[in-house]
């Protein structure tokens, strides 16, 4: 899954040339070309056997059922349900399934009703037969079911051996754990096989979870579609199932739809049958062994474009008919990246087809359902005339991320959600590797540092952080770890691991892990084991044979170290200590470290005379978890500066004595190009964050940005901008803001005059840099920039044709500036574009611009809209977060959040990101009180508990920052002018 937070970063990236080894794709279990076509009448999908003939999926225990004929669905299905039993059990207890009965094959049929009735009454009916093997004798079957009405009279358990009678169970529910409990009088016996049959009915709500409804406009008509989002725990809202990631089974899916619609699922369609009343039943080939959270069902009126990959996988891109032309780019990228990953992982994509679909309402960025990846429209659709460069990069990144999951997550699945990072950390990082393959010139692997590593370091600098590997049990806890730690820190430590193993060993180790674990599950120890064995095979140094010993220090304890580099004569002394944003913060004691907050650090450095920014694993100096200092003898001479952590491959900060910092900042001013752009970004990021924690004087941090108006690389600018946004947030309501704003205006006006406004002929990174510079310059009041934007906007408003005359990469700034300096007329004009544009990125660009208004009543109205269908549900939280960034909007959103907590959490499922955004600028005792009071007033924090703790810790740190730095910044600003 791709969290929507990443939409805000709209990131970019890099990697050196890396091509997968060729592999023999005609061996082993994975031969998808030689299967026996069964009763499929579609020749396009060759080699997809029906479930009863297949033995090609590894780990399959199904051959024993070959003689068993499951109940065939009856057509057409009845549309009535009998009353449900509603025995609410106390709940609590173990949230995990006992698994005495273990599912092997599901025969599932679902029929959504999305027409001819009121949308609030939309529902679906379903039938499922689950074949199970009994692994431990028991008198009950426990499976998951949530918000489903079970037709009790339908429920039957059948022993799968001849001559035995069906068992009619009594039915109970545990509504806290979402358990459906079937109790039997007869004992179910270990070693025997049973099947259970259940009919059910569920609501098709617009909640973006489980099986849900979505809609879009065509002229005055509303077109409805039914779609799914199962991860992590919502498959149980679509049908009764064993809804845990490790419980893999095979699925034989049938979707029933109206004749004028189409249906899609994970596998290829093998049969379509007309039923009464214009209903059609589409049956899909049986899936390989897979987890429930990866299932997907869609019923809609979309059209598609298709291609075939180099290795003969049918690849289709689906969208609203009006938007189908916007799928060209993603289809092309998807096809190429899928093949790239097949080679990178040396494992063919095991399904006969791969669909990508852009649904109009989607709660996340995208979801990696096996064979049917669902995207938010902004994550997949690309229109060269109307979609900006940063969106293009975002689309590429999301496609690559989801395709990486086809191996990391889908083929090999974490045993439990506590290892979620194995999915998300890998997808987060490997996405950049795939993207680099497509666009070398984007330097995305360098970009990963500023877009992911720096975020992770920031999030993980708090005492309220958590280890990458974290025990979780219930749904709230599971949801909370879809966070920066699993994605960005996970990705960052994987990149570090690639560095210390070397690219080849890393890649071959992953291939080993995937080959050995395919169709099964794994934990982080399995990964360390495979990588360790590979490093022995490859003759790597002893140190990296025991990957677990190294990686445990990064994944089992939270936070990360600062390495202090000190010069003593011609030697350099290294020591490590834990970085904490606030050293005095009280440890809530949730997580203990078994390593005493010491790490196994792959350290690298360079000096002025022996400059080398192109280092590899052979250059590593290991600092051990014993924490002893290290002396590097005779490595430096003269008056040299030195820099640690080349290209920031390691997940740690580096600090120096003041005189080395001074030499580095002098170097930046004299000739910044001597230092690699990634290390320039690192110097800025480290200095500012060491200043935040009190490890470095603020004066020194400020010096790292004095050269900025001479900077010409996007990455250091990006890093500096993040820190300067922080200062802005802190100073926004103080008397210093005027001076600060003047400094910023000057800093961005110089590069603006060099870069200009015209993107014609510019490369990717130059376009991104120009955009950053122009936006900041306008933001801080550069008159030329503002006038330019306002007059472009007037042209647009007065224009009549369908063509938008504004350069696509300037639109965000033009709309935002016009709204900031305009009134309700400009706002309504852009709002209308949000409502009516056929291009998702244009909608989002408009939405962002709407938050720039300085009129309180306009912002209030916008806030109200965001909680209703005036703003798409998928965009509602984004709108609120954007308004919270506006200095005027911030207190509005805070009041709104407090006044509408239940409505907001009901509508969006979680308010965690909103809490983080709205409190980001809090820096007074009064603010702190306000969070505490609000938190205490809530009877049930749900999945927002951690977000509150972080908000409190961040606010405390901000208060401290103001106390220590306000005067220093004041003096600095006055000396500058
Ligand atoms: C059924 O359970 C739900 C959820 O606990 C509860 O809100 C509802 O009142 C119950 N209904 C009946 C008829 O007992
Ligand atoms: C489920 O049952 C409840 C109580 O009988 C009913 O109000 C609700 O409409 C049913 N839901 C569906 C989707 O049939
Ligand atoms: C849409 O509805 C509006 C207002 O009811 C009406 O004026 C317009 O003609 C309708 N358009 C179409 C294409 O039916
Ligand atoms: Zn993901």
Whats the size of the chain, residue-wise? Answer: 977
What CATH number is attached to the domain comprising 322? 2.60.40.1730
pLDDT, tens digit, for every residue of 455-505?
999 999 999 899 999 988 888 788 878 888 999 999 999 999 999 999 999
**Ligand 3 atom 9, closest CA:** 220
Does the pLDDT at position 789 exceed 60?
yes
pLDDT, residue 549, reads 97
Cβ neighbours, 10 Å, residue 19: 10
Confidence bin at 176 (pLDDT 50/70/90): confident
Is pLDDT at 22 greater than 60 in this prediction?
A: no
Over residues 363-375, the mean pLDDT reads: 92
Which range among 306-320, 521-535, 562-576, 582-596 shows the weakest confidence by mean pLDDT? 582-596
Q: Is the pLDDT of residue 940 over 90?
A: no
Residue that wins the pLDDT comparison between 882 and 72? 882
> Does 41 count as an annotated binding residue?
no
Is 855 annotated to bind ligand?
A: no
The residue-averaged pLDDT of 810-820 equals 95
Question: What is the reported pLDDT for 33?
Answer: 32
Q: Could you give the C-alpha distances from 874 to 68, 291, 315, 361, in angstroms and in order?
A: 45, 26, 27, 6
CB atoms within 10 A of CB 942: 15
Supply the pLDDT for residue 585: 86
Q: Is the Cβ atom of 220 under 6 angstroms away from ligand 3?
A: yes
Distance 156 CA to ligand 4 centre (A): 38
DSSP code for 341: H
Q: Which ligand is nearest to the CA of 84?
A: 2
What residues contact 200, with CB distance under 8 A and at least 6 apart? 81, 125, 126, 127, 128, 145, 148, 149, 150, 151, 239, 240
Phi, then psi, of 865 in degrees rounded to 5: -55, -40
Q: What is the C-alpha to C-alpha distance for residues 370 and 291, in angstroms, rounded to an integer?
A: 10
Say which range, 40-54, 308-322, 926-940, 954-968, has the weakest mean pLDDT. 40-54
Rounded Cα distance, 917 and 904, in Å: 15
Residue 200 has which token pair?
């059910």
To test the pocket of ligand 1, the residue of 83, 84, 87, 88 to mutate (highest count of ligand atoms within 8 Å of its CB) is: 88
256, part of any domain: yes
Query: What is residue 11's predicted lDDT score, i.e. its pLDDT?
Result: 25
The residue whose CA has the least distance to atom 1 of ligand 1 is 86
For residue 72, the 8-state DSSP code is: P
Given a contact cutoff of 8 angstroms between Cβ atoms, the answer to whether 361 and 872 are in contact is: yes
* Residue whose entry in the numeric block shows the structure tokens 């002394």: 573
- Report whether residue 126 contacts ligand 2, using a CB cutoff of 6 Å: no
At residue 47, does pLDDT exceed 80? Answer: no
According to the annotation, is 424 in a ligand binding site?
yes
88 C-beta closer than 6 A to ligand 1: yes
pLDDT, averaged across the chain:
89
Backbone torsion region of residue 210, taken as left when φ is above 0, otherwise alpha when ψ lies between -120 and 50, otherwise beta: left
Q: Which backbone phi and psi does 185 adopt, to 5 degrees?
A: -80, -40
Does 391 map to a domain?
A: yes
Alpha-carbon distances, residue 147 vs 81, 119, 435 (angstroms):
14, 18, 40
What is residue 945's predicted lDDT score, i.e. its pLDDT? 85
Confidence of residue 163 (pLDDT cuts 50, 70, 90): confident
**In Å, how far are 499, 553, 675, 781 from 619, measured between CA atoms?**
10, 21, 18, 47
The arithmetic mean of pLDDT across residues 678-704, rounded, is: 96
| Arithmetic mean of pLDDT, 861-882 | 92
Q: Is residue 115 part of a domain?
A: yes
Cβ-based neighbour number of residue 803 at 10 Å = 9
Q: Please name which ligand lies nearest the alpha carbon of 430.
A: 4
Per-residue model confidence as pLDDT tens digits over 695-712 = 999 999 999 999 999 999
Please report which confidence band the pLDDT of residue 634 belongs to, taking 50, 70 and 90 as the band edges.
very high
Cβ-Cβ contacts under 8 Å for 105 (sequence gap 6 or more): 51, 62, 65, 70, 130, 131, 249, 250, 251, 252, 286
Q: Taking the CA atoms of 20, 23, 28 and 33 in sequence, report the sign of the dihedral they define.
A: positive
In the numeric block, the tokens 């709500």 are attached to: 205
* Distance between CA atoms of residues 818 and 840, nearest Å: 21
Separation of alpha carbons 12 and 393, rounded Å = 6
> pLDDT tens for residues 886-905?
999 999 999 999 999 999 98
Residue 23: predicted pLDDT:
29
Residue whose Cα lies nearest atom 13 of ligand 3: it is: 219
Q: pLDDT at residue 87 above 50? A: no
User: Atom 11 in ligand 1: which residue has the minimum CA distance?
Assistant: 86
**Residue 381 domain-assigned?**
yes
Residue 851 counted as domain residue = no
In this predicted structure, which of 17-31, 337-351, 555-569, 871-885 has the lowest mean pLDDT? Answer: 17-31
123 lines ligand 2 (CB under 6 A): yes
> Which residue owns the Cα nearest ligand 3 atom 4?
220
Position 959 pLDDT exceeds 70: yes
Distance CA(543)–CA(603), nearest Å, equals 13
* Interval 182-215: pLDDT, tens: 999 999 999 999 999 999 999 998 778 899 999 9
∠ CA 332-337-342, rounded to 5°: 135
User: Is there a domain that residue 325 lies in?
Assistant: yes
**Average pLDDT of the segment spanning 499-517:** 97
Q: Is residue 584 part of a domain?
A: no
Q: Can you tell me the distance from the alpha carbon of 924 to that of 649, in angstroms, rounded to the nearest whole number?
A: 36
Q: Which domain holds residue 359?
A: 80-85+93-404
User: Which three-class secondary structure state does DSSP give residue 910?
Assistant: coil
CA dihedral 285, 290, 293, 298 (to 10 degrees): -10
Q: Is 464 a domain residue?
A: no
Spell 119-158 as b/e; 16+ CB within 10 A means b. Answer: eeebbbbbbbbbbbbbeeebebbbbbbbbbbbbbeebbbb
| Ligand 3 atom at shortest distance from the alpha carbon of 219 | 13
pLDDT value at 75 more than 50:
no
The kind and range of the H/E element at 605 are: strand 605-607
Q: In what order do the strands lie in the sheet with 179-188?
A: 138-144, 179-188, 170-174
Q: What is the pLDDT of residue 355?
A: 98
Which value, in Å, is the radius of gyration of the alpha carbons in the chain? 29
232: cis peptide before it, omega within 30°? Answer: yes
Q: Which residues, at least 6 apart from 836, have a Cβ–Cβ distance to it below 8 Å?
A: none
Residue for token pair 């938007």: 323
Contact 439, 764 (CB under 8 A): yes
Domain count, the chain: 1
Least-confidence region, from 561-570, 649-658, 908-917: 908-917
Whether 201 is in the pocket of ligand 2, judged by its Cβ within 6 Å, is: yes
DSSP 630: E
Q: Tell me which of 399-413, 861-875, 902-916 is least confident.
A: 902-916
263-272, 792-801, 954-963: range with highest mean pLDDT: 263-272
Least trusted range by pLDDT, from 76-90, 398-412, 748-762: 76-90
What's the 444 CA to ligand 1 centre distance in angstroms? 52
For residue 762, give every residue at least 6 positions away whose Cβ sits within 8 Å of its Cβ, in sequence order, or none. Answer: 770
Residue 455 and residue 693: Cα distance in Å, rounded?
Answer: 16
Peptide bond into 707 cis (omega under 30): no
Pocket probe for ligand 2: among 80, 149, 199, the residue whose CB has the most ligand atoms within 8 Å is 149
Q: How confident is the model at residue 16 (pLDDT cuts 50, 70, 90)?
A: very low
Q: How far is the CA of 201 from the centre of ligand 2 (A)?
A: 8
């Amino acid at each position: 899954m791709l969290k929507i937070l990443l939409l805000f970063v709209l990131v970019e990236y890099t990697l050196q040339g890396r091509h997968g080894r060729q592999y023999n794709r005609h061996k082993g279990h994975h031969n998808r070309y030689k299967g026996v076509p069964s009763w499929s009448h579609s020749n396009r999908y060759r080699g997809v056997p029906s479930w009863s003939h297949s033995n090609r999926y590894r780990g399959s225990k199904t051959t024993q059922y070959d003689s068993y004929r499951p109940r065939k669905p009856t057509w057409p299905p009845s549309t009535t349900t009998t009353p449900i039993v509603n025995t609410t059990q106390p709940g609590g207890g173990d949230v995990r399934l006992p698994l005495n009965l273990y599912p092997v094959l599901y025969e599932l049929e679902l029929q959504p009703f999305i027409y001819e009735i009121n949308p609030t009454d939309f529902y679906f009916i379903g039938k499922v037969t689950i074949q199970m093997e009994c692994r431990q004798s028991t008198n009950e079957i426990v499976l998951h079911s949530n918000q489903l009405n079970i037709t009790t009279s339908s429920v039957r358990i059948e022993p799968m051996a001849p001559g035995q009678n069906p068992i009619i169970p009594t039915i109970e529910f545990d509504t806290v754990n979402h358990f459906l409990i079937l109790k039997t009088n007869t004992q179910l016996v270990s070693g025997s096989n049973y099947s259970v049959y259940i009919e059910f009915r569920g609501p098709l709500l617009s909640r973006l979870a489980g099986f849900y409804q979505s809609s879009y406009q065509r002229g005055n008509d509303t077109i409805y579609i039914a779609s799914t989002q199962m991860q992590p725990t919502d498959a149980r809202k679509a049908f009764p199932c064993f809804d845990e990631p490790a419980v893999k089974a095979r699925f034989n899916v049938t979707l029933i739809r109206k004749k004028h619609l189409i249906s899609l699922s994970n596998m290829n369609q093998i049969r379509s049958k007309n039923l009464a009343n214009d209903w059609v039943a589409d049956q899909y080939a049986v899936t390989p062994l897979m987890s429930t959270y990866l299932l997907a069902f869609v019923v809609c009126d979309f059209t598609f474009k298709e291609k075939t990959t180099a290795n003969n996988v049918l690849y289709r891109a689906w969208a609203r008919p009006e938007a189908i032309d916007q799928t060209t780019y993603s289809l092309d990228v998807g096809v190429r990246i899928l093949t790239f990953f097949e080679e990178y992982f040396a494992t063919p994509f095991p399904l006969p087809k791969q669909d990508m679909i852009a649904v109009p309402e989607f709660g996340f960025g995208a979801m990696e359902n096996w064979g049917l990846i669902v995207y938010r429209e902004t994550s997949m659709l690309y229109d060269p005339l109307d979609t900006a460069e940063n969106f293009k990069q975002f689309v590429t990144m999301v496609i690559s991320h989801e395709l990486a999951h086809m191996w990391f997550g889908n083929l090999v699945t974490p045993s439990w959600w506590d290892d979620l990072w194995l999915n998300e950390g890998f997808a987060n990082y490997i996405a950049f590797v795939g993207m680099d393959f497509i666009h070398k010139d984007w330097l995305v692997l360098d970009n990963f540092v500023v877009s992911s590593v720096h975020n992770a370091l920031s999030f993980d600098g708090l005492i309220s952080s958590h280890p990458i590997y974290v025990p979780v049990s219930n749904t709230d806890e599971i949801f909370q770890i879809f966070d920066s730690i699993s994605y960005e820190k996970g990705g960052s430590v994987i990149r570090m691991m690639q560095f210390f193993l070397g690219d080849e060993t890393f890649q071959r180790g992953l291939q080993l892990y995937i080959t050995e674990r395919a169709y099964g599950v794994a934990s982080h120890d399995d990964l360390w084991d495979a990588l360790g064995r590979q490093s022995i095979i490859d003759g790597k140094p002893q140190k990296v044979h025991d990957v677990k010993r190294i990686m445990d220090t990064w994944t089992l304890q939270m936070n990360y170290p600062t390495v202090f580099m000190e010069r003593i004569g011609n030697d350099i002394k290294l020591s490590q200590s834990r970085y904490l944003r606030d050293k005095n913060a009280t440890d809530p004691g949730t997580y203990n470290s078994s390593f005493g907050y010491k790490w196994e650090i792959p350290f690298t450095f360079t000096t002025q005379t022996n400059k080398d920014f192109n280092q590899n694993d052979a250059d590593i100096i290991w600092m051990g978890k014993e924490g002893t200092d290290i002396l590097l003898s005779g490595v430096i001479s003269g008056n040299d500066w030195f820099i640690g952590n080349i290209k920031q491959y390691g997940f740690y900060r580096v600090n120096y004595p003041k005189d080395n910092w001074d030499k580095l900042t002098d170097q930046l001013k004299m000739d910044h190009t001597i230092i690699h752009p990634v290390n320039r970004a690192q110097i800025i990021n480290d200095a500012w964050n060491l200043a935040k924690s009190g490890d470095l004087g603020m004066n020194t941090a400020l010096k790292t940005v004095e050269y900025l108006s001479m900077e010409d690389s996007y990455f250091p600018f990006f890093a500096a901008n993040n820190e300067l946004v922080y200062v802005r947030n802190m100073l926004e309501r103080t008397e210093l803001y005027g001076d600060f704003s003047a400094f910023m205006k000057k800093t961005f006006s110089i590069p603006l005059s060099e870069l200009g406004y015209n993107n014609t002929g510019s490369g990717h990174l130059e376009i991104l840099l120009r955009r950053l510079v122009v936006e900041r310059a306008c933001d801080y009041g550069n008159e030329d920039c503002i006038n330019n934007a306002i007059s472009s906007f007037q042209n647009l408003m007065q224009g009549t044709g369908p063509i938008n005359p504004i350069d696509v990469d300037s639109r965000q700034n033009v709309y935002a500036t016009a709204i900031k300096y305009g009134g309700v007329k400009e706002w309504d004009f852009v709002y209308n574009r949000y409502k009516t544009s056929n291009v998702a990125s244009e909608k989002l660009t408009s939405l962002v611009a709407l938050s720039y208004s300085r009129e309180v009543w306009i912002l209030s109205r916008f806030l109200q809209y965001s909680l209703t269908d005036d703003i798409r549900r998928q965009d509602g939280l984004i709108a609120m977060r954007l308004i919270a960034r506006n200095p005027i909007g911030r207190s509005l959103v805070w009041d709104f959040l407090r006044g509408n907590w239940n409505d907001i959490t009901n509508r969006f499922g979680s308010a965690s990101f909103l809490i983080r955004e709205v409190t980001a600028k809090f820096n007074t005792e009064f603010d702190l009180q306000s969070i505490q009071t609000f938190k205490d007033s809530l009877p049930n924090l749900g999945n927002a508990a951690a977000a509150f703790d972080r908000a409190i810790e961040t606010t405390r740190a901000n208060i401290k920052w103001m106390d220590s730095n306000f005067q220093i910044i004041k003096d600095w600003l006055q000396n500058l002018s």
